[in-house]
Amino acid sequence: TGPNFETPAEIKMFKKWGATVVGMSVVPEVLVARHCGILVLGLAWVTNMGCGIAKEPLSHEQTVRESKKIEGKFKKMLETLFVKI
């Protein structure tokens, strides 16, 4: 279904459970991949504070802007990782 921002209620619930980071949409993709017999390695980077934590509202534009800040470092990490595999 694509990325989805967490709701303030979800953030509060995960915080009570001890979580410090919440992903937007990984589980459905992993379930489908595993159903197809594909091995999965999950890597992610944090682009925004959870809904209700920061004062400014969440936006797709802000998430993309923050992603671009470390895009080069993430690409280099992936290239290094896959050379070693």
Instruction: Check 6, 29, 56, 61 and give the catalytic one.
Output: 6
Per the annotation, the verdict on 6 as an active-site residue is yes
DSSP 19: -
Cα–Cα dist 78/51, whole Å:
29
Catalytic amino acids?
Answer: 6
